[in-house]
Amino acid sequence: MSDAHAARRTRLRERCQASGSATALVTRPANVRYLTGAAPRGAVLLLGAAEDVLLCGAPPRGDSSEGRPDDTVRVHLLPKPAGDPAVAAADLVTAAGAESLAVEEHHLTVARYRALRSVAPRLRLADLGGAVEQLRVVKDEEEISCLRIGAEIADQALGELLESILVGRTERHLALELERRLVDHGADGPAFATSVATGPNSGRRGHLPTDRRVEEGDFLSVCLGAVYRGYRCEIGRTFVIGTSPADWQIELYDLVFAAQRAGRESLVPGAAYRAVDRAARHVLDSAGHGADLPALMGHGVGLEIDEDPQLAPAAMGKLDACVPVTVEPGVHLPGRGGVRIDDTLVVRPEADGGPELLTITTKELLAL
Amino acid sequence: MSDAHAARRTRLRERCQASGSATALVTRPANVRYLTGAAPRGAVLLLGAAEDVLLCGAPPRGDSSEGRPDDTVRVHLLPKPAGDPAVAAADLVTAAGAESLAVEEHHLTVARYRALRSVAPRLRLADLGGAVEQLRVVKDEEEISCLRIGAEIADQALGELLESILVGRTERHLALELERRLVDHGADGPAFATSVATGPNSGRRGHLPTDRRVEEGDFLSVCLGAVYRGYRCEIGRTFVIGTSPADWQIELYDLVFAAQRAGRESLVPGAAYRAVDRAARHVLDSAGHGADLPALMGHGVGLEIDEDPQLAPAAMGKLDACVPVTVEPGVHLPGRGGVRIDDTLVVRPEADGGPELLTITTKELLAL
């Protein structure tokens, strides 16, 4: 991966130079990891004209959860008591005679910004904006392979849960069991707080597990994901508990399934983000569920679970090949429950077989 | 709790007015929860001259993990698609004719700050600084009671683990089992990533669990905590695996125990933060472990696991009664392992019996 990280920094350096800054300070942890291979706690990356330096308050651990810094980056360990590595970076830059430094204004707090100003009053602070986030949108095959392994792990954890007895168990316990199974199968951890929603809670996006127990006749909706080498994927499924789903359950499930399929089928290179949202949303809207739909129908995944692009009505931009996204429509009927179906897919050209589905657990309505 | 939250906001309002701002915008989630009872995702609190408003992008869920907004606060739900609630707050303030607004510069990003500036160019933005964090340092009895329950839960989870067979199990599995037990006993979740460290990893602060298995003769150090109604506590213990600890293990354990006791005994109202640090650090330093000690010997706990005060060599300030802190010295010998002992205690006057120990699991060196 050394070459990949160095190549990413080269691309970023070119962007910075094009906008007039020879040096940049990267503070957002996922961006630091993307560019160096590691995100030790609190560490910042100084992208210099000559040399790139990872400034850390403590030695990098180099384990799978924080990653290992690339050989091509110099690791600079601050003496104790270590202050803010960003301030130390501003010192370095000034000593090297740089005139301007691009910073991540969307991540840096006003207080840290003022601290940089005060140690380096002559340094012009520019805005790096979302330059690193933009580089992160299109993944290379090594990144996609981490996502693919993460998705396999999530599929396995979910598959095992479905074989166990569910009635009578609480949402919290099912969520914890899923997280344990993720780790059993080799995940560094859950990609986000595992959501298990039963009965009237089912179908709610981001529902946090409660002490409600699974009952006969419930919808059960589950959303989980694994972190593998820093990469985070997501899968969501809805099941029905008991032998035969009610008519309203079948009808609602079929509707959400149709919406999700429409979203998946619209994942082609060149499709507008909002067109993917519209494809899924339109199906639910036409059936009268338009008023209370979630703000988006999907989003990018990678080193963070929710990254660009946003597949939402007002999103600007178009899909490229090799962009992994979720497609996750859902409908929740207050008091009754609902359905969510969520996959992680990678956008691929038609010639390569179209979108690559990473989360392969069946989307048939299973009665458990 | 309604009265308590309203009283906290009154105190904050007095501070703001004393420093020239009639209105304040609170964005840091733990601060929002402290002042309103709830921290719905992304919500901000506008402390107005007349009325206090919680601005949310989605309806508050009101469950135990995010809390329930107090009756004395008006909840303002932003229309969809909801932009940044902080920007909506700046709009409200300007419409109400305010001239200045204090913001949390240590939490607000530069980009959000610029967005406030651009919607309200005439509004003077002042710095609220750590005013809410300062209010949070001294806890009321209701807060302490949440911490006490959280500590009981952590003690129970740890106690059960000690009764199980440990040899051959991995750090990851033990950590997951502890987290499951925390939830079993009523925690909203773990207060932070549970740390389980065996053999050469033992004694490292914040060690993240690996696939290393517990072996005969190992030190095993464990650090965990429960969240209960938003409040987070911490307990850390070190054990030895097998029938009889080696001499170096007993010696190191006794030393860290003596340091931790010295720290605990120095917890009296009026003691300087740095004096508590020194009391514990001195014991380890005198035994030749000064070079590689952690940066602090303890810290405050509450709605966040690491809050003010910092019990560190350069910390300024003195302890008050009703301040819950950790005392957590440790020594790690590279390649061999080490010992950490960590308690959560509440500072109490001598007349009330001195420091109240919340985490009561034994600190004898247990051979498991």
- Domain of A53, CATH number, reads 3.40.350.10
- Indicate the number of domains in chain A: 2
Chain B stretch 229-268, residues whose beta carbon is closer than 8 A to a beta carbon of chain A: none
Q: Do the Cβ atoms of A106 and B111 come within 8 Å?
A: yes
Rounded to the nearest angstrom, the minimum Cα separation between B192 and chain A is: 13
Whether A82 has its CB under 8 Å from any CB of chain B: the answer is yes
Whether A106 has its CB under 8 Å from any CB of chain B: the answer is yes
Query: Of B113, B136, B159, which closes a domain?
Result: B136
In chain B, how long is the greatest CA-to-CA distance?
73
In this structure, are residues B337 and B200 in contact, taking their beta carbons and an 8 Å threshold? Answer: yes
- Please tell me the distance from the alpha carbon of residue B364 to that of residue B367, in angstroms, as a whole number: 9
Residue B364 covered by a domain:
no
Question: Which DSSP letter does residue B109 get?
Answer: B
A39 class by beta-carbon count within 10 Å (0-12 exposed, 13-18 middle, 19+ buried)? buried
Question: For an interface test with A, which of B28, B31, B109 has the most A Cβ atoms less than 10 Å from its Cβ?
Answer: B109
CB-closest option in B65, B208, B295 to A208: B65
Residue B221 covered by a domain:
yes
Contacts of B178 in chain A (CB under 8 A): none
Q: Does residue A356 have a pLDDT over 70?
A: yes
Per the omega criterion (within 30 degrees of 0), is the bond before A309 cis? yes
pLDDT band at A3 (very low <50, low <70, confident <90, very high): confident
For the segment A87-109, the average pLDDT, to the nearest whole number, is 93
Task: State residue A160's pLDDT score.
Answer: 96
Same domain membership, residue A39 and residue A120:
yes
Residue B145 covered by a domain:
yes
Whether B210 has its CB under 8 Å from any CB of chain A: the answer is yes
Strand B74-77 with B52-56, pairing: parallel
CA dist list (Å): A252 to A36, A167, A221, A255, A289:
46, 22, 13, 5, 10
- Domain of A301, CATH number, reads 3.90.230.10
Same domain membership, residue A170 and residue A116:
no
Residue A195 covered by a domain:
yes
- Please tell me the distance from the alpha carbon of residue B280 to that of residue B264, in angstroms, as a whole number: 8
Q: Do the Cβ atoms of B176 and A172 come within 8 Å?
A: no
Contacts of B78 in chain A (CB under 8 A): none
For the segment A18-35, the average pLDDT, to the nearest whole number, is 93
Element (H, E) at B34: helix B29-36
Same domain membership, residue A311 and residue A229:
yes
Task: State residue B48's pLDDT score.
Answer: 87
Q: Determine the residue type at B335.
A: G
Provide the residue-wise pLDDT of chain B in tens; the chain has 368 residues. 568 999 999 999 998 888 888 899 999 999 999 999 999 989 999 998 778 999 998 888 888 778 999 888 999 999 877 789 999 999 999 988 888 999 999 999 999 999 999 999 999 999 999 999 999 999 999 999 999 999 999 999 999 999 998 999 999 999 999 999 999 899 999 999 999 999 999 999 989 899 899 999 999 999 999 999 999 999 999 999 988 899 999 999 999 999 999 999 999 999 999 999 999 999 999 999 988 888 899 999 999 999 999 999 999 999 999 999 999 999 999 999 999 999 999 999 999 999 999 999 999 999 98
Same domain membership, residue B148 and residue B105:
no
Q: Does residue A2 have a pLDDT over 70?
A: no
B362 Cβ neighbours under 8 A, 6+ residues apart: none
Contacts of B127 in chain A (CB under 8 A): 110-111
- Please tell me the distance from the alpha carbon of residue A46 to that of residue A32, in angstroms, as a whole number: 9
Query: Of A70, A105, A136, which closes a domain?
Result: A136
Enumerate the H helices of A96-163 as residue ranges.
110-119, 131-137, 141-162
Same domain membership, residue B233 and residue B149:
yes
Residue B251 covered by a domain:
yes
Task: State residue B2's pLDDT score.
Answer: 61
CB-closest option in A103, A176, A210 to B179: A176
Element (H, E) at B113: helix B110-119
Same domain membership, residue A120 and residue A155:
no
Domain encompassing residue A23: 2-136
Phi, psi of A54, deg, nearest 5: -100, 115
CB-closest option in B82, B183, B295 to A81: B295
pLDDT band at A1 (very low <50, low <70, confident <90, very high): low
Rounded to the nearest angstrom, the minimum Cα separation between A106 and chain B is: 5
CA dist list (Å): A272 to A92, A119, A338, B180:
43, 44, 28, 43
Whether B290 has its CB under 8 Å from any CB of chain A: the answer is no
Q: Does residue A264 have a pLDDT over 60?
A: yes
Find, among B100, B83, B2, the residue nearest to B47 by Cα: B100
Same domain membership, residue B182 and residue B132:
no
- Please tell me the distance from the alpha carbon of residue A48 to that of residue B74, in angstroms, as a whole number: 49
Q: Do the Cβ atoms of A107 and B109 come within 8 Å?
A: yes
Rounded to the nearest angstrom, the minimum Cα separation between A245 and chain B is: 28
In this structure, are residues A288 and A308 in contact, taking their beta carbons and an 8 Å threshold? Answer: no
Whether A314 has its CB under 8 Å from any CB of chain B: the answer is yes
SS3 for B56? Answer: strand
Same domain membership, residue A186 and residue A76:
no
Q: What ipTM describes this predicted complex?
A: 0.84
Find, among B83, B81, B80, B85, the residue nearest to B32 by Cα: B85
What string of DSSP letters covers A44-100?
Answer: EEEE-SS-EEEEESS-----TTTB---TTSEEEEPPSSP--HHHHHHHHHHHTT--E
Same domain membership, residue B159 and residue B175:
yes
Whether B118 has its CB under 8 Å from any CB of chain A: the answer is no
Q: What is the pLDDT of residues A285-311, one digit of tens each?
A: 999 998 888 889 999 999 999 999 999
Whether A122 has its CB under 8 Å from any CB of chain B: the answer is no
Whether B122 has its CB under 8 Å from any CB of chain A: the answer is no
Place of tokens 């619209």: A266
Same domain membership, residue B159 and residue B55:
no
Phi, psi of B82, deg, nearest 5: -70, 130
Task: State residue A62's pLDDT score.
Answer: 80
Rounded to the nearest integer, the mean pLDDT of chain A is 94
In this structure, are residues A197 and A152 in contact, taking their beta carbons and an 8 Å threshold? Answer: no
Q: What is the pLDDT of residues A110-153, one digit of tens each?
A: 999 999 999 999 999 999 999 999 999 999 999 999 999 999 99
Written as six digits, the tokens of A95 are: 């000593």
Place of tokens 């170096």: B248
- Please tell me the distance from the alpha carbon of residue A285 to that of residue A293, in angstroms, as a whole number: 8
Residue B362 covered by a domain:
no
For the segment A27-35, the average pLDDT, to the nearest whole number, is 97
Q: Determine the residue type at A73.
A: V
Query: Of A136, A165, A185, which closes a domain?
Result: A136
Residue A362 covered by a domain:
no
Say how many C-beta atoms besides its own lie within 10 A of residue B336's C-beta.
Answer: 14
Q: Does residue A205 have a pLDDT over 60?
A: yes
Task: State residue B108's pLDDT score.
Answer: 97
Q: Do the Cβ atoms of A109 and B107 come within 8 Å?
A: yes
Q: Do the Cβ atoms of A105 and B107 come within 8 Å?
A: no
Q: Do the Cβ atoms of A108 and B109 come within 8 Å?
A: yes
Same domain membership, residue B220 and residue B104:
no
Same domain membership, residue B204 and residue B60:
no
Chain B residue closest to A125 (CA)? Answer: B110
CA dist list (Å): A269 to A137, A266, A319, B298:
13, 9, 5, 53
A102 class by beta-carbon count within 10 Å (0-12 exposed, 13-18 middle, 19+ buried)? buried
Residue A172 covered by a domain:
yes
Q: Do the Cβ atoms of A105 and B105 come within 8 Å?
A: no
CB-closest option in B61, B113, B183 to A110: B113
